[in-house]
Structure 1
Amino acid sequence: MILIGSCFGFFFAVTPAVPFMLLNRRIYLRWCSFVMGYHLLMITCLLEDLLNIKTVITGDDLTNNKKRSLIILNHRTRLDWMFVWMLHSRYKILNQLKIVLKASLKHIPCLGWGCQHAGFLFLERVWTKDQHTMKSIISYYKSCQTPISLLIFPEGTNLDDNTKRKSNDYASKQTTYNRPYDYCLHPRTTGFAYLLNTMRADNMIDNVDDVTIAYEGNFPVTELDLLKGVVPKVVHFHVKRYPINDLPQEDEKIGQWLQDCWNEKENRLKEFYTKNQFDSPSKRFNNQEIESYVRFQRRLALILWILFILFWSYCLIAYIKIKLYVLIVCLFHWVIEAFANGIIDFVCQLDENYRQTQRTIKRN
């Protein structure tokens, strides 16, 4: 359902907005973000109502505060980003949620292409390239006057025995090393500090949201585990919000702040896997009005996506023009991939050229 919904959403909901890349990029980004947000909401219905995965939320209550934020999350499995949508559906920010992903994912047909249209940030782990990419896409968000919440995994990869050993070995050689970690990896500070200060300089951030995720029962480590039916019984989230004005501005101090957060996160996770809870039940999020609203919205999203898929499935089977349209869309994106490294790079370059033209006009 996730794969089929992604493909049909990409072809028949996202791609028709492509002309607005030239006409009005603000409308283009907001429309693609809306489609992506509604698709993510549909997925939360599959997770919570079909697979019966429960959520427990503790910490700061952000349900009525949809401010622009940089979200930092520990990376326990390769599928953390999917489960965290259940949290952010309650915060009603799925439309503005963007995720930092590795660059290889952007080239996956339909899935990766759709994430590019929605404005996700793809990094190659080559600092000279990633630095320009982060600056370019934050400027694109600002130009589109679009509020965003950007999710990043500062650890860089998910936790397993191999990555834990490498992370502890690397951290032990740094002057800031304090101890080995068992429940998370040591965070990478350079990219986080640059991203934070870039968003701050462009006035694109209000808060940093520190989210800790943990699982009760078995949980999928890879996509194959999910296909085999391995799902957690309960996903626990602990949320802590930091106003941007409370954070330091120097890169070195930001790096130390992030390391302090992860040291606290390691302690929190160690305690969780002893007690199977972050805080006492009395401190858990328990707003039944919001729970009822979100339950209705995600079930409505599932129904609408099913109807959407059925309608376009019929059209795809019945009309040769629709088959031709799908072929043309694929060819267009393959050409963009070959000559512009993807649609997100292409639209960011268009936006940068537009800003340069406007600056030239003002000077003259």
Structure 2
Amino acid sequence: MALLAYLKSLFILQLLMGFVFVVSGLIINFIQLCTCILWPINRQLYRRINCRLSYSLWSQLVMMLEWWSGTDCTLYTDQATVDKFGKEHVIIILNHNFEIDFLCGWTICERYGVLGSSKVLAKHELLKVPLIGWTWYFLEIVFCKRRWEEDRETVFAGLDRLKDYPEYMWFLLYCEGTRFTEKKHQISMQVAESKGLPKLKYHLLPRTKGFTTTMQCLKGTVTAVYDVTLNFKDNQTPTLLGIVSGKKYKADLRVKRFPVEDIPDNEQECANWLHKLYQEKDALQEQYNKEGKFPGPTIIPPRRLWTLLNFLFWATLLLSPLIKFACGVVVSGSPLLIIGFITFLIIASVAIRRLIGVTEVKKTGSSYGNQEAKKQN
């Protein structure tokens, strides 16, 4: 075990995994670009192909969580809810406290067969991020600038297009709008106080506009809302760098299903329902911090081999020529080739590090609490 942990910590292995992810992602993005010719001919075929292409990329990150890191994911829910997983269009509400919360959500999506078709209401800045934003663009992800006056038309149009999506989708909403930090929490609670809303201890005040709009636009398509509350054992603070280094975490996810019929249609009542839900989520986090677990029965969905097999396919395809080329460079003894190859490795490591930086809490910005952000609620 010590040897395995040491191997996982080696930078060269991490760099090779990053190389596989980046290069395979560029190949996948190119194939996605080529599929655009199908859009006016057969939109549903275009979507099915892009679901599988996206799966081939995102499942590499899930593989790192499940197989490389060995992180455990335990569900706190009932069997009746689990029986519906992957068999209906749903909206997912997830707390935004951790750097890898999206990855824990993805691993549940993968285990129930909806990773490739999963959706999210994403901030517009991510559209410019290579691989991530490009893949999401082809997957019809809805992007917003978090300024409702500018977002109204694009969000409504994007959501409206998803009404006839051919595969079951889980549409993720981070209703808090940004990842939790102490500074943002202080500002958020000032907003709550000014609006006469109960203060939250473990969450930011939810931005209701995104949720009410999504519910309105996807009415008749989604059949339920899954409230997911995530926390980690032993006060762990997981990071994507930790996952890449092979560090194991223990994630607990409490899932509660709400049929859409139980959620008010009226916008203000729907917003009030969301505020009440976050008060309940806050109480759940309080209980978790005291008892180290969520209430209810536990279910541990088994890992599937597909993520590992997919990564091994790309690794075999891409690393063989890379290693052969590296050996040729060393054997050649050419200073110019060696310097060029080292420069390539440095550039690759910097690029991968910047991609990881997108998930880091300290680098996630937000306008939460300023006058413009207040208007969005």
Identify if the C-alpha distance between structure 1 residues 204 and 134 changes in structure 2 by more than 3 Å, giving closer, same or farther. farther
The total of aligned residue pairs comes to 304
Q: Identify which of 296, 299, 311 aligns with 1:285.
A: 299
Identify if the C-alpha distance between structure 1 residues 130 and 6 changes in structure 2 by more than 3 Å, giving closer, same or farther. farther
Q: TM-score, normalised by structure 1?
A: 0.76
Q: CA deviation at 1:24?
A: 2.1
Unpaired stretches in structure 1, ≥5 consecutive residues: 318-364
Q: Does 1:258 align with 2:274?
A: yes
Q: Look up the match of 1:207.
A: 224
Q: Does 1:194 align with 2:203?
A: no
Identify if the C-alpha distance between structure 1 residues 120 and 182 changes in structure 2 by more than 3 Å, giving closer, same or farther. same
Following the alignment from structure 1 to structure 2, what is the Cα–Cα distance between the partners of residues 129 and 231?
41
Identify if the C-alpha distance between structure 1 residues 207 and 83 changes in structure 2 by more than 3 Å, giving closer, same or farther. same
Q: Which amino acid aligns with 1:205?
A: V
Q: Does 1:181 align with 2:190?
A: no
Checking the alignment, whether the CA contact within 8 Å between 1:219 and 1:232 is kept in structure 2 is no
CA deviation string 1:67-93 (max 9, x = no partner): 100111010024311221122222221
Q: CA deviation at 1:191?
A: 2.0
Checking the alignment, whether the CA contact within 8 Å between 2:225 and 2:258 is kept in structure 1 is yes
Following the alignment from structure 1 to structure 2, what is the Cα–Cα distance between the partners of residues 311 and 23?
38
Q: CA deviation at 1:8?
A: 1.9
Checking the alignment, whether the CA contact within 8 Å between 1:219 and 1:230 is kept in structure 2 is no
Q: Does 1:244 align with 2:260?
A: yes
Following the alignment from structure 1 to structure 2, what is the Cα–Cα distance between the partners of residues 219 and 143?
39
Q: Look up the match of 2:318.
A: 309
Q: CA deviation at 1:235?
A: 0.7
Q: CA deviation at 1:6?
A: 4.7
Identify if the C-alpha distance between structure 1 residues 58 and 101 changes in structure 2 by more than 3 Å, giving closer, same or farther. same
Following the alignment from structure 2 to structure 1, what is the Cα–Cα distance between the partners of residues 19 and 98?
20
Checking the alignment, whether the CA contact within 8 Å between 1:58 and 1:278 is kept in structure 2 is yes
CA deviation string 1:169-196 (max 9, x = no partner): 1111113x12x22211111112211111
Give the fraction of aligned pairs with identical amino acids, expressed as a percent: 21
Identify if the C-alpha distance between structure 1 residues 253 and 311 changes in structure 2 by more than 3 Å, giving closer, same or farther. farther
Following the alignment from structure 1 to structure 2, what is the Cα–Cα distance between the partners of residues 197 and 2?
40
Checking the alignment, whether the CA contact within 8 Å between 2:69 and 2:246 is kept in structure 1 is no
Checking the alignment, whether the CA contact within 8 Å between 1:238 and 1:278 is kept in structure 2 is yes
Q: Look up the match of 1:346.
A: none
Q: Does 1:53 align with 2:71?
A: yes
Following the alignment from structure 1 to structure 2, what is the Cα–Cα distance between the partners of residues 238 and 268?
9
Q: Does 1:103 align with 2:117?
A: no
Trace 1:147-162 onto structure 2 (pairs within 5 A): 147-162=168-183
Checking the alignment, whether the CA contact within 8 Å between 1:6 and 1:111 is kept in structure 2 is no
Following the alignment from structure 1 to structure 2, what is the Cα–Cα distance between the partners of residues 151 and 57?
17
Structure 1 SS opposite 2:104:
helix
Q: Does 1:72 align with 2:93?
A: yes
Identify if the C-alpha distance between structure 1 residues 7 and 18 changes in structure 2 by more than 3 Å, giving closer, same or farther. farther
Q: CA deviation at 1:27?
A: 1.5
Checking the alignment, whether the CA contact within 8 Å between 2:20 and 2:314 is kept in structure 1 is no
Q: CA deviation at 1:152?
A: 0.7
Checking the alignment, whether the CA contact within 8 Å between 1:73 and 1:151 is kept in structure 2 is yes
Checking the alignment, whether the CA contact within 8 Å between 1:10 and 1:114 is kept in structure 2 is no
Q: CA deviation at 1:142?
A: 2.7
Unpaired stretches in structure 2, ≥5 consecutive residues: 1-16, 327-377
Q: Does 1:300 align with 2:317?
A: no
Checking the alignment, whether the CA contact within 8 Å between 1:220 and 1:230 is kept in structure 2 is no
Q: Does 1:43 align with 2:61?
A: yes
Q: Look up the match of 2:43.
A: 25
Checking the alignment, whether the CA contact within 8 Å between 2:20 and 2:319 is kept in structure 1 is no
Identify if the C-alpha distance between structure 1 residues 3 and 185 changes in structure 2 by more than 3 Å, giving closer, same or farther. farther
Following the alignment from structure 1 to structure 2, what is the Cα–Cα distance between the partners of residues 78 and 5?
19
Q: Does 1:219 align with 2:237?
A: yes
Following the alignment from structure 1 to structure 2, what is the Cα–Cα distance between the partners of residues 157 and 312?
41
Q: Look up the match of 1:343.
A: none
Following the alignment from structure 1 to structure 2, what is the Cα–Cα distance between the partners of residues 226 and 249?
41
Following the alignment from structure 1 to structure 2, what is the Cα–Cα distance between the partners of residues 15 and 268?
44
Aligned-pair Cα RMSD in Å: 2.6
Trace 1:128-147 onto structure 2 (pairs within 5 A): 128-147=149-168
Checking the alignment, whether the CA contact within 8 Å between 1:37 and 1:97 is kept in structure 2 is no
Q: TM-score, normalised by structure 2?
A: 0.73
Following the alignment from structure 1 to structure 2, what is the Cα–Cα distance between the partners of residues 2 and 196?
37
Range moving further from structure 2, 148-157 or 71-80: 71-80
Structure 1 SS opposite 2:251:
strand
Q: Look up the match of 1:332.
A: none
